[in-house]
Every structure is written in structure tokens, then in C-alpha cells.
Structure 1
């Protein structure tokens, strides 16, 4: 049985292909809502909460490999022999790890705003110290807002950005730290070229961390993969432009299902 909390968006057709969506660090699976409901007519869409985030219990000492195995367990719980997975940031790392660990189970994976390495232990040890000293994630919100969203997005009449930032502010610090540790230990740079699963690499045009250039380099290492850039978006294009992201995912997974 899977440990991670997950929500089925549409179970009207139990024979529809399963598509699982994974969120970014410090947020909930519901950040995918704008995309999920656009895809729910054609897929059984499942959104997932990371360990210690949303409704999921903590998983101390968790690794990205563990999280990939959790996604497979969720697919098993819905009786899906094969499934698609789309993930952003840390969940993009899960997507690429799934492609290495369970290629026979996958219709394809979409990796959004992610990488094969997230800076290693030194970077994440510093983040963990900051969070422990603050005792809360709320102090991270101002700086994070500028990385997650393109200039001007939070000034628009759109509640989705502020909702996601409030999710970050209210996330359990210890659950967040567990996932920071997973990213500290994650490094598949030497293995990306081994991926044979269909992959869509999707970048945000203004993402300062996982830049379009870096995402294109990943794409160039995976034979047959696809690459696209979402304009006027930063690290969370699924929140900023759910219509464009859903179009990319629909086209990609439809071709993978052929």
C-alpha cells in the first residue's frame, strides 16, 4: 500500500489511462488543479502530496528512489499496469528516476522545471539550517515568490499563486526538511542517457534555477525526448499557465498512448 496521500480527480471511467501528477517542494498536489481538471475527461488523474506535505505522513530519511517506488505503489492501488507521470521540480526528479527504475510500467513521463542534480548536500544543509533556525517556512515566502513566478504574475487577479505560497508557509518544517534531504542525496547526472522511456522536458522561460538552457541539455541527453518552453513563466508554469501546460501534456501523453 502506498504511504503518500493521493486524490483521484475523475473515476467516471475506470478503463481510462492513469496519469499521476507530483508537486514541487513545499506545496500540495492541489497546485496541479488547473491542469488536472483540463485532463480529467481523458485520464484518471491522480494528484499526490509529498511526504510531510498536505495530507501525507512524514517519511524520515526518504530518498528520491523511495518516492519513485511510492508512485508505482499508487499506480498499483488503482490497478494500472501502465501509467503516465508528470512532476515539477522535486517531482520532476521523481519522473526521471521512475524512467530509470520502472520503464516497463510507464507510458511516458513529463519532467517540468527540474534537473539531474540539485546542488548536493552543501546547498541543502544550508536550507535545512535556515528552516530549523526559523522554525517555520513562512520566512522563505518572499524570496521564493520571486523564483517561482514570473514578474507581474502575483499582481494579476489570480488567486492560484498566493494559494501555493500559503501552502509553502504552512508546510510542516520537518516534512520539508525530509524532502530537502532527499534532494541533497539525488544525483543521476551520469545516468540520464540511459533513459528509454518517452520523456517531455518542459521549462519555464524565466525559471532562474532550472533554466531553459539546462532543461534543453537534459533533453539532448535522452534519445527521442521532447522539449518545450512555457512563455512568461518561471518555476511553476503549471500554476501560471495551466492551459498551456495541459495542452503540452495532452499532446505528449496522447502520442505516448499510440
Structure 2
């Protein structure tokens, strides 16, 4: 049984290709809902939560490698010898890890708004200390909103952004800290060039953390990878422009499947 909680968006056709989607730190996999429903016509779409986030239970010794193993366990449970995976931010790190550790299982991966490392232990230890001092993630919401969403998005008449920010506010601080530690230890800087699986690197045009420039440089290290930028978006283009992300992923995965044949 997989250590990760998950739900299947479209289980009507068990022979359809499997696509597993992973969320960003401090949120639920449901942040993929808009894109998932665009993709569900052609895929068995699975939304997988991070440990201790959403419906997920906390795990001992959380690491990006352990989360990647949980994704493989989901595919096993659903009877898929091969599958595709797309993840954003920390789950983008999971995508790259899967591409390196289990290439034979993957049709293709989408690595969204991510990197080969996330700044190292000092950055994350500081964040951990801050969260512990606050005792809750709710006070971090205003600053996080400025990083996650492009200017003006939250002023639009829609609930998607507010829902994701409320997910952050309600996330168990200890589960969040578990994943911060995982990011502190994560570093694929010397390995990315070894990836042989088709990869789509996707950036938000206004992402201040994983900038389009850094994502383009990352893509340049992986032979045959693809790169695209979602306009008018920051760190969470799957929330801001789910239809654009879904279209980019669907087109990429179609090409990846043809290469595998």
C-alpha cells in the first residue's frame, strides 16, 4: 500500500494511460483540479498528496526520494507498469528524482516551477525556525501570496487562489517542516544531465523563486527536454492558468508516448 494518500479523478477506463500529479509545499493535491479535469478525458488522472498535507498522513524520515517511492507505489497499486508524472515545486523535485531513479517506469515527466536544488539547508533551517516560532502557517499567508501568484490574480473574481492559500493556512506545521527538511537535503545538481526520460520544464513568467531563466538553464542540461513559460503567472500556474498547463502537458505527453513506442 502506498504511503501517500491519493484520489483518482477518472477511473472509468482502467486501460487509459496513468498520469499522477503532485502539488506544491503546504498545499493539497486538489490545487491540480482545474488542469486535472482537462486531462481526464485522455488519462486516468491521480492526485497525490504530500506527507501530512491534505488527506496525507505524516511519515517518518520524509525525503524527496521517499515521496518518489510513494508515487511508484501508487502506480503499482493501480496496476500500471508505466505512467507519467507531473509535479510542481517540491513535486517537481519528485518528478526529476523519478526520472533518474525509475526511468523504465516513466513515459514522461513534467517538472513545473522547480529546480535541481532549493537553496540548501541554511535557507530551510531558517524557514523551519520561523514556522516553529509562529506555531502556525496562517501568518505566512500574505507574504506567500505575493510569491505564489502574479500581480492582480487574487483580485479576480474567482476562488481558486483563496482556496489554495487557506490550504496553506490550515496545513499542519510539523508536516510542513518535514517537507522543508526534505528540500534542505535535496540536491540533484550533479545528476540532472543524466536524465534520459522525456521532460517538460514549465515555468511561470513571474516566478521569483524558480525563474524562467533558471528553468531554461535546467532544461538545457537535459538532452531532448522541452521548455515552456506560462504567461501572467508566478509560482503556481496550475492554479492561475490550469487550461494552459493542461494543454502543454497533454501535447508533451502525447509526443513522449510516441517516442516510447
Give 1:61 deviation, angstroms. 2.1
- How far did residue 224 of structure 1 move? 0.2
The 3-state SS of whatever aligns with 1:206 is coil
Q: Specify the alignment match of 1:21 in structure 2.
A: 21
What is the distance in 2 between the residues matched to 1:70 and 1:104?
16
Q: Distance in 2 between matches of 1:247 and 1:170?
A: 31
SS in 1 for 2:162: helix
1:47-196 superposed matches below 5 A: 47-196=47-196
CA offset digits 1:147-201 (Å, max 9, x no partner):
0000000000110000000000000000000000000000000000000000000
The answer as to whether partners of 1:201 and 1:226 remain within 8 angstroms in 2 is yes
Displaced runs of 4+ in structure 1, greater than 4 A?
none
**Could you tell me how far apart the structure 2 residues matched to 1:257 and 1:154 are?**
36
Check whether the contact 1:61–1:181 (CA below 8 A) recurs between aligned residues.
Answer: no
Say how many residue pairs are matched. 258
Q: Report what 1:214 is aligned to.
A: 214
For normalisation by structure 2, the TM-score amounts to: 0.98
CA RMSD for the aligned pairs?
A: 0.5
Q: What is the CA-CA distance between 1:13 and the residue it aligns to?
A: 0.6
Tell me which moved more, 58-67 or 184-193.
58-67
Shift of 1:108: 0.3
Give the secondary structure class of the aligned counterpart of 2:187.
coil
Asked if 1:11 corresponds to 2:11, the answer is: yes
Counterparts of 2:54 and 2:68 in 1: how far apart (Å)?
A: 18
2-structure distance, mates of 1:195, 1:257:
17
Q: Secondary structure at the match of 1:51?
A: coil
